[in-house]
Chain A
């Protein structure tokens, strides 16, 4: 049941992404509405899928890597909807949804192959997962908005004024939102990662065991920390901050795929 719901949600997201991109390029406002409705519908299905999965398996539905990724997507879509509404940035989905889909396309297979995983001994690990999850969702948005910033900046520098340019929000708004998503995401990520490190000995018996996901997480954390520091110091704004947001996200992608494909301690 939950697998079917996941498929429906994913399909809705794919269609929504196509509609959002179409609304950005074309001159029809209706497409933006279609994109919004599809995203909302997809998100509701997704919520139902997460709940039914928890009920069907009789446990919390974020215990395997695919499940965690699914929840990152769930939270990111929610955040995307909220920012679009709050800041009236209609085409944000056009940038965020494709990223989300890149994360999510492997899910249907991942979620179907339920491997018996070792039961989690510590409740702290659940908190670790939940916090990292919220942090990652904000960083997905951070990436999408940074991408939008770079496109907007290019348009302004090259003095292009087509329909496309008219649909994008002001440059400053985008800069402010990349800063905001980083500021929200980073503390969650940090506390979540620290909890992970602290509870690792309890779960794995040793802190020093090599784990690819933990390693990449550290690299990712350093990049985001540097970006945030640069912003606070007031030197890295605009384009540079956007480049760092993109670099950080690339490492984030590597980190997650390391969790899925490399068999470290996180992989099931």
Chain B
């Protein structure tokens, strides 16, 4: 990173801004591409990327004066809908340096999401970075930041359970079914009654391989319609009890005032099923399945409250896992600081090497010019000699530079070495005021 420049994140999210504001800032890709090019074109930022989702609009940038850069960026973002920077300013948070790095890692790893641990955000950050790359506004700092953020997000996914537990009722049903059955492939599902949540649960089960699907309803037409939607078979409502012997998972959600599945029916069905378990997911209120069904051996019945408490427990667990993830990310931030410092000395090392190499080549040519009769052997020896001298001379300053970057005073040494060897300044001329 050029000396004097700062990595910063400025943005607003579901934590700070109401949806009424967020929706006005959400722009399509082409507009964002324009803004990115415009911001770097004006020389306000060295590097910039913009994340724009329904829950957050954030500017990641490297600039000499972050305050100026963010007001320009948000001014441009808001201008499409007539929002002024002074209206947005109270909603925008800004972090710089290590805090900005941590923020980037937290966002990418879904620790800052509305639903903790939801998986979409990683893809959204990747898209935003790809956009900045294709617009040519992502430089070495953002490259380093994002590649580490993606790695850290992956570690959080695999090393903590933050994304593994169901946090919706319909998904909890799948999670429970997998505790009973050894895989859901080929398990028959019976959907009793229509309802958004039960249909969603059935759909999730099918997505996990459950097959075939039977649908039954008091209204025959509705049953057929639902069956078509799920790729299943409609079954007459009076066949319900008989069907229990044929299926593995039953999802109920009818408006019946009395239970429609009794323990006696389940017991009879299980006798025919030999020892295969039967799982009831009862989403209806009042309940469709007699509570006593859960007492029957090999039958398991979860009602809406049970499912809700599963979801609540999982949410709490995700919060606990978020603490572990946070600690993991904090360690990643320390690693990144080291990487960034190395990044500072790389340009100096490269130009020092280039300079000495140019001298070596020129002098070698000259010397060989004076030795017209030199054989292959002589040429090789002289090549090796010159290379050895350059490498030996480079060794000490390179070690010094790398050490100084670790010790945190790289700038003094890059300047000193540039001065001594007459290198071009490590800063790009256009970023200096």
Q: Which residues in A have some Cβ–Cβ distance to B below 8 Å?
A: 27, 29, 152, 156-157, 159, 161-163, 165-166, 168, 170-173, 175-176, 234-241
Contact = CB atoms under 8 A, between A and B. Distances in A.
A195 B298 CA distance: 39
Nearest to A159: B306
A157 B275 contact: no
26 contacts: A27-B161, A29-B159, A159-B302, A159-B306, A159-B309, A159-B310, A161-B309, A161-B310, A161-B314, A165-B179, A166-B161, A166-B165, A170-B178, A170-B182, A171-B180, A172-B180, A172-B276, A172-B277, A234-B274, A235-B274, A236-B275, A237-B276, A239-B297, A239-B298, A240-B297, A241-B275
A241 B179 CA distance: 19
A114 B338 CA distance: 63
Interface of B: 159, 161, 165, 178-183, 274-277, 294, 297-298, 300, 302, 306, 309-310, 313-314, 317, 320
B69 to A, nearest CB: 42
Given A161-B310, A238-B298, A173 B275 contact: no
Contacts of A156: 179-180, 300
A236 B300 CA distance: 18
B158 to A, nearest CB: 10
B82 to A, nearest CB: 50
A176 B297 contact: no
A24 to B, nearest CB: 15
Q: Which of the listed residues A152, A159, A161, A170 has the most CB atoms from chain B within 10 Å of its own CB?
A: A161
Contact of B275 (A27, A161, A162, A175): A175
Given A157-B294, A159-B302, A238-B275, A172 B182 contact: yes
**Minimum-distance CB pairs A-B, first 9:** A237-B275, A234-B274, A172-B182, A173-B182, A170-B182, A171-B180, A159-B306, A161-B310, A161-B313
A237 B277 CA distance: 10
B275 A171 contact: no
Contacts of A157: 294, 300
A96 to B, nearest CB: 19
Contacts of B179: 152, 156, 165, 168, 170-171
Contacts of B181: 170-172
A176 B180 contact: no
Given A157-B294, A161-B309, A172-B180, 16 more contacts: A27-B320, A152-B179, A156-B180, A159-B302, A162-B313, A163-B317, A166-B161, A170-B179, A170-B182, A173-B182, A237-B274, A237-B276, A237-B298, A238-B277, A238-B297, A238-B298
A39 to B, nearest CB: 23
A208 B313 CA distance: 62
Contacts of A162: 313
Contacts of A168: 179
Nearest to A160: B313
B277 A171 contact: yes
A166 B274 CA distance: 27
A89 B294 CA distance: 26
A171 B276 CA distance: 10
Contacts of A161: 309-310, 313-314
Contacts of B182: 170, 172-173, 176
Contacts of A27: 161, 320
- Counting chain B CB atoms within 10 Å of each CB, the highest count among A163, A172, A241 belongs to A172
